[in-house]
Amino acid sequence: MVPVYSHIAANKRRTFFLFLLFALLFAAAGYLLGLYLGEPVVGLILAAIFFGVMILISYYGGQGVVTSMAGARPASREQEPYLYNTVEALSIAAGRPVPKLYIIETDVPNAFAAGRSPEHAVIAVTRGLLNRLNRLELEGVIAHEMAHINNYDILLATVAMVLAGTIVFISYTVRRMFWFGGSRSRRKSGGQAQLLALLAAVFLAILAPLFAQLLRFAISRQREFLADATAADFTGYPEGLASALEKITAAQVPGGPIDNEALRGLYIVNPALGARGTERISTLFSTHPPTSERIKRLRSM
């Protein structure tokens, strides 16, 4: 198994690489858009400004974006004492601050962690998770999310999600500009502007879905295996998480209330797969390894 500290360093390197990759993409898109408008330098400047703003949003406000997209609300100690007691005990075991807690009001059991560091992290759980799991199973799930926080998986996942959404939005905006603003540009610049606009639109239209897929896979499947192993170490009871994974996977509803494409990679079990998450073939292009394999590894510990 990859040592924990090596995994943390690898996630920081991946995050830097993603920042660089997106900077280059924004620069290329800005330049092409500037050519379309007849001002390539202006396009680069606008791209740089927009990229800087999105970096600040994803780094400092990414967890707020994620919880908002998930429909999660803050959980108070008075309303959720059982959840708070569980998380506080595991935070002590992990040697980390207690993360902020959120509840998603749905019967579908699942959970995720988000944020940029152990000091700025959140854990969100669904109502169904609290209702369906016993104490040992809940501890296993919370420990898994604590492991993601401890291993800095959350930084990579949160940045990836926000930037992926940004790229898709830019692609859509540029295509709209091309279709509805193309005639005016052609009158000003002739066929060259039309050709460059077409290239820009095709460039972004192709790269947007490719980068969204790339970011989903950037959150390596191995991080789930490592988080499972770390969770078993925190609790000292691998069966708790193994049993929880069985229940969670069986209860997923593809297209259900938590099946948001942008957030699938964050959840402990991909909600889009439903009970098929246990099958190897169904997860060939998934952000998660097969649940059956995860359970097998846990029960072999």
| Angle, CA 133 vertex, CA 131 and CA 135 arms, to 5° | 110
**Which residues partner with 112 through β-bridges?**
124
The dihedrals phi and psi of 112, each to the nearest 5 degrees, come to -155, 165
**161 CB contacts (<8 Å, ≥6 apart)?**
62, 65, 66, 215, 262, 263, 265, 266
Choosing from 39, 145, 239, 279, the catalytic residue is 145
Burial grade of 233 (CB within 10 A; 0-12, 13-18, 19 or more): middle
3-state secondary structure 228-246: HHHHHHHHCCHHHHHHHHH
Distance of CA 44 to the CA centre of its chain: 28
- Assess whether 279 carries a catalytic annotation: no
Catalytic residue IDs: 145
